[in-house]
Structures are given as C-alpha cells and as structure tokens.
Amino acid sequence: MFALVQGTFAQKTADELKAERQELQTEMKAKKAVERTKKMEKLVSQGQPAATGVSSVDLLATSATALLKTTTANNEFLSTFKRTVTDNGGGEVDITTEKAKLDDYLKLAVSIGEQAAKVALEAQKVQKIKDEIKSLSPTQAMPATKAVTYASDALDVSGSELQLQLKLVNNLIETIKSSKNY
C-alpha cells in the first residue's frame, strides 16, 4: 500500500487513469457497493450494542464502531471530490468546487491503509471471541453474540469499503501527479 502512495510503481498515462476512474465509478455504483452502503448506514444508525460485561466482546464492538465511523467519515470527505473531478482531455484534472490537494490525499491514503490494517487485526479476533462466548452462561452469551455479530458486520463492510476508498484515493493521487497540478 505504502509503495502505491509513494508512487514507486510506473506512472500511468492519462488515458489509463481515466479508464481506471471509470472502472471505479462502475464499482461504486454496483449493486454490491450500494448494498454495502445501506448496510453501513444501518449499522451506524443502529449504533454500538450495549456493554455486555465481557471485556473482549465490548472492546471488539467499540473498535468496530470506531472503524465504521472513520470509514463513513472518509466517504463523506471523498464525496466532495468524486462528483466534481473532471478531466479536460489533456491529462489535467479540474475540480469545480475546490482543487484537490495532493498532500491531503497522501495523508488520507496512509490513514486508510492504517485503518485497513486495524480492520484485519480486529477481524482476526472475531473467531477467538466467538469461541469464548461458548463458555458463557446463556444470559451472558445472548448479548455477547449480538455484539460480536454487530462487530463482525461492521468490520466486514468497513474492510470492503476501505479497499474501494484506497483504490479511489490512489487513482486521484496518480491523476494529480500525472497532471503536474500540485
């Protein structure tokens, strides 16, 4: 990921970047992405389940909620640009509402990469915590299972969304660099 941000890969042409942006737009409008967005909205509106008294479950739910909120905030930031990014045909990128700043996108790419790593780390904990729940009493297991299901869903949609966000940000970074418009 970091190598992509630093641009150590071969520079893409303006046409390749434009084609990649079109693929990303198609991917963002795909049924799977629309369903993921709806699921994210549902999870955000539902909010983190109440504390269960099982520390590993509560920590997982808290972490998953924070990652979900950060992923949503990334989308809000990116939406201000992805609707207004235009290519004038000469490889120069114009953004009608505000010029995109390369440094902002570089920082965002690093942040998204860190968030994706956290999602992967938390996702690894899910099965272990599910196994822990099996040893709980039924009165403790029910809310704990609900919280782990919530966390698992939040991590799943966040992970998928972060991958898409990273592709978009890397494309924007390369587009800005190729246009020498920074």
pLDDT tens track for 6-41: 444 557 787 788 788 778 777 777 788 889 889 999
The pLDDT, as a whole number, for residue 87 is 65
Q: What is the largest CA-CA distance in the chain?
A: 66
The pLDDT, as a whole number, for residue 75 is 87
Mean pLDDT of all residues belonging to the chain:
85
How far CA 163 is from CA of 47, 52, 75, 116, 137, in Å, comes to 23, 31, 12, 7, 38
* pLDDT more than 90, % of the chain: 55
What residues form DSSP beta bridges with 85? 95
Is the pLDDT confidence value at 132 over 50? Answer: yes
**31-46 vs 138-179: helix crossing angle, rounded to 10:** 130
Asked if residue 78 lies in contact with residue 168, where contact means CB atoms within 8 angstroms, the answer is yes
pLDDT digits (tens, 9 = 90+) for 116-125: 999 999 999 9
Q: Which of 162, 56, 54, 166 is nearest to 118 (CA)?
A: 162
The pLDDT, as a whole number, for residue 177 is 85
Is the pLDDT confidence value at 154 over 80? Answer: yes
For the chain, the structural domain boundaries read 2-177
Is the pLDDT confidence value at 2 over 80? Answer: no
The pLDDT, as a whole number, for residue 1 is 37
- Extract the tokens encoding 174: 């390369």
Report the pLDDT averaged over residues 143-159: 97
The pLDDT, as a whole number, for residue 174 is 87
pLDDT digits (tens, 9 = 90+) for 49-93: 999 999 999 999 999 999 999 999 998 888 776 545 566 666 666
**Which H/E stretch holds residue 173?**
helix 138-179
More confident residue, 103 or 26: 103
Q: If pLDDT is split at 50, 70 and 90, which confidence band does 3 have?
A: very low
**31-46 vs 55-82: helix crossing angle, rounded to 10:** 130
For 95-99, which contacts have Cβ atoms below 8 Å and span 24 or more sequence positions? Answer: 99/181
